[in-house]
Structure 1
Amino acid sequence: MSYAHTEVAQIAALSSNRCIGKNNDLPWHISADLQHFKKMTTKPNDSDIQGIVIMGRKTFESMGSKPLPKRVSFIISTQLDYAEQQGLAGRDNAYVVHNLDDALTQAASLAHGAHLDTIWVIGGERVFKEAMRYTDRIELTHIDTDIADGDAFFPELSDNFTIASESEQMHDDKSNLDFKFVTYQKKVAE
């Protein structure tokens, strides 16, 4: 089920035990994964808006409380004065909303106006889980490691999702980790 004819996609990197975060940070640093994230969430065009991302407050804070370049950020927070606290009030590249439905509705409207066909859900754990029922596609970087003391995890995928494509296994020399990119597509109801 797309949101107002706009694809909802999730993107995350996760360990073998589904860990996506530790102490509000990524448990690894793999530059190819960060480049993949940027390439997926930005679509070069003539517009100032090259992508739309939805995230929870903690994910936003883990990125230094700054909106991503060339993308509009929707930040979900239950704190009513969060936009003012973070100096985001009145900005046109970051909006604070108080629930996922508002984020998706506003993001879909903005995507339509900016001629973008995908809204990206980029974390964290609770936002991924809540958005799953609206999600059409999931882009996961599978990292071949176990994070024993992680504190944020990607939800289990239901049988509604099948692997549409996957990259070769790659190796990151700096972190000494193996990883691959996998695209999951939601099955279309028969």
Structure 2
Amino acid sequence: MSKSKGRSAGQGGAGRRLQTIGLFVTLLAVAVLVGSLAAGLAGGGSTVADEPWSAAPSTPPRAPPSTTAASAAPVRVAVLNASGIPRLADRGRARLRDDGRFDVKEIGNAPGFSPDSSVVLDRVRQVGQARAVADALGISRVESRPDANLYLDVTVVLGKDWAARNPERPASTAQ
């Protein structure tokens, strides 16, 4: 009888080892999947957004207009004033809203007033949308700076050059 107890105790030890190995392999596979997901979400490398403002401007080629259903939705835009000229972002918002293809979600001042030249930033890897905004405002410089933390498609940074080309119109006097 002691032999049968010895065999089952030996088989129990081997079974526990197999369970431990199986658990280890499963946890290792889960860790690899989680790491792969995290690397995919993080972008897996350097992007244009890692470069400072002083980097040489990159003007992507103009993309043909998209005919997908997603392009029918208005482009979500933030307009920021980097010129120091009062109400410049408001003037940019008015121009985009008059166009009708854009939904200006936010206006305000850009951090600091350093850029003299205006730039349109693509935030969702849809350069065609950023180019459409740039064309509507008469801005030639478009850069891709994706940012998944923003609820925007495009950010416009208006500089002194845009203010000079788009002077504020005096309000008409009603009589």
Shorter-chain TM-score category? under 0.3
What TM-score do you get using the length of structure 2 for normalisation? 0.22
Greater helix content: 2
The structure that has the greater radius of gyration is 2
What TM-score do you get using the length of structure 1 for normalisation? 0.21
Greater strand content: 1
